[in-house]
Amino acid sequence: MKLLVLGGVRSGKSRYAESLGRATADPVTLIATATAGDAEMAERIAAHRAHRPPEWHVIEEPIHLGRALADAMTPVIIVDCLTLWLTNLLCDPHAGLLETEIEALFDVLPALAGTVVFVSNEVGFGIMPTNALARRFADQAGLLHQRLAPLVNRVVLMVAGVPFVIKGP
């Protein structure tokens, strides 16, 4: 079972994904893509670390998500989150890294067994960004979601902490 959990900032995406992991007796791997670029983000990361179960295996991988997914050896994998991963790729100075890493994700996807939960921000509901990097980010996030949604069994949209299943059982 592959799931894509979308929603705005503080919509309950991560909490929902974590609840799916907590509801299983199977071992869980969390792939965390965030980097602590400032004190506020460091606090967010610390809060996530404190909230998750200590028995979960954690892989902190901001760039090479496809490789991290291939290395995860548990029946349940949670990726939190795709849009932070995209941000890391867009801000990386290596030309072509974005395309290479997105293809690596889609290359490994068919081989993933068990449950894989992808968490991502739905940024398409907001205002049009005023600078080129923000517009590129919004475009890339939308394209990634459009490409991923047909390949997963379920898509859930989180609004105010409430999950709305928009695809699948």
Catalytic residues, which ones? 48
Q: Cβ atoms within 10 A of the Cβ of 105, count?
A: 21
Pairing mode of beta strands 2-7, 115-121: parallel
Q: What is the DSSP letter of 27?
A: -
* Cis ω before 81 (30° cut-off from 0): yes
Joined tokens for residue 6: 């979308």
Pairing mode of beta strands 162-167, 154-159: antiparallel
* Beta-bridge partners for 2: 116
Q: What is the DSSP letter of 158?
A: E
> What sign results for the dihedral spanned by CA atoms 61, 63, 67, 70?
positive
Strand extents, DSSP E, the chain:
2-7, 28-32, 57-60, 76-80, 115-121, 154-159, 162-167
